A and B are shown apart, each in its own frame.
Chain A
Amino acid sequence: MCSGRVDLEFILRAFSNGVDGVFIGGCRLDECNYITHGNYDALSNVLLCKKILEHIGLNPERLNIEFMSSGDGILLVDMINNYCEKVTEIGPLGTSEGMEGKELSLKLEAVTQLIPYLKLVEREKLRVPVKSEEAYHQFFKSEAVDRLFNELILDKLAISQILLLLREKPLSTGEMAMALGLNPSDVARHINSSSRHGLVRYDAQRKCYALS
């Protein structure tokens, strides 16, 4: 099994279970034990996931990937120690980021539900042309990727969160904006598009929105 097998779902599941950090160890880049160089896929998964964590208000440093060979025992110990120190410094998941347990699980679940879509976006738009560690980091830091991220992922993520929120009880636009820390006009826009798709409906009696 390759580090590239580590699914976004595994990472998110771990955070949903309340762990404070996820560390992924892969073979050294360009020294693939298969012929696939799947550790680059692991790297791009991690870089994408970090962006998402940051966006939902979690410290992206909680997720870490390092590459080493089976002979790098001492290096591994160093990496793990540094990483554990860092995670300890960041503190417990959610509370350190000023997030309640409920809000945190809602956000993580919203992302989890989006995984199939994220995989499609990754495949269509986020493949890095050059296989080098530097190129991968540069790519995910680039403005182009930021733009793509904003265009393709942010709205979907907001809608995913709205739908989860409405699963509990019908809410008004303002309540949703408050609960999700979003701009009310953005929420209205998402509600409009969701109702066009038949996902939500307006409950005129209670003057709020509910799932269809």
Chain B
Amino acid sequence: MPKILSIIIYNMKKVGNHTSISRILLFCLAVSLTFSLPSFAQDAPAAAPAAAAPAAEAAAPAAAGDPVKGKELFNANCASCHKLDAASTGPKLRGVAEKHDKQWLYKWIHNSSEMIKSGDAAAVKLFNENNKVTMTAFPQLSEADIDNILAYTSAPAPVVENKPGPVASASGSGVSETIILGALILVLAVLIVMLVLVNRTLKRVAAANGVVVPVKEPGVSVWKAYAKNQFLVLVTAILLLLASSYYLYGWLMQVGVDQNYQPVQPIHFSHKIHAGDNGIDCKYCHSAARVSKNSGIPSLNVCMNCHKNIAEFAGDKDSVYDHSKEFYTGEIKKLYTAVGWDGATQKYTGKTAPVKWVRIHNLPDFVYFNHSQHVSVAGVECQKCHGPVETFEVMKQFSPLTMGWCVNCHRETDVKVEGNAYYTKIHDELAKKFGKQKLTAADMGATECGKCHY
């Protein structure tokens, strides 16, 4: 920064005949440069997130059990039906060791249906309390394994702390930015003052040395000179006209292009959490994309494949979320209302209220687009058109979806012909015709009007 300023000062010093306009312009440039610099400063490593205190799992380990191994076993075997602190398909398991005798539990876990058949009172009661769903038998779990699991389930529930939420941390970083900004402004102000001082000193020195600063002759003002030069006026007018039509064209071309369209949806569905954090494959939910022209908005029964068990937002402690835990859990509750799921009784009520999503990608009627052609045949990644959806907290239209955009891709993308018997003959023929091994979609005829418009 100082270097730039010194250059400016040097320039001002050497070329004394500049008009005041050029000085102003230079000054503006300097100021704009100064203010654009802080953006580079943001590359500095962000403040490390405050390390969250690890959950106090060590407390009160059950006799001879290893809660760490227990957690692994729990997640592998039990978690699909049980939760620690909430009822799921089966009852909640925290503190289960205190409710039943250990030997009883071994027997139950190894073969619960036998116990129910034999008429064990506690077993029958448990069975009846839980919608008469038979628990899968786990004969493969040794007693030591069960001990480990019980040790894990006996750990006390973590105390809910008022941890600073993601909003708080965001505001924290806001404070530091303001400080940096403030400091920069201060430095700038000091520099300006210095500039004025230096200028004054130089004038004084000049006066003392007898250097006569030539008095400006009152010439014709630049504006008047410009107005007199008709050629210049004409050129400027043409340039202005060209520039404005360029921008007008640009503006007109974006009419009806809804790139970055990001409507508010009835349920806040985070692709970031589902596809990003949890790594769910796009086509798990959008399965129709493999065989249909539509990608298919998943029906709610697809959501319930997982959300039957995931009733509340747990989150990953290493990630930062846009909203609070309660917010996300509330959105899951919206799903339950829509699909008619009663979490308490673990049953469908039959009262449904279909979700009215706002459609984001709207192709006009006169365009035929088929997902399966691109997804199944061409093997195009969903992200190629839809962008890094796995990072989107709120879904938006990533691509412009204009014809130029489509056609460009058809011109640049090679057709995936390997291992597809359909292409064998046509590829050989076209390869010979065009004299190249790799064929683009356009070579195959994918830029003809009738391929998409009918």
Chain B binds chain A: no
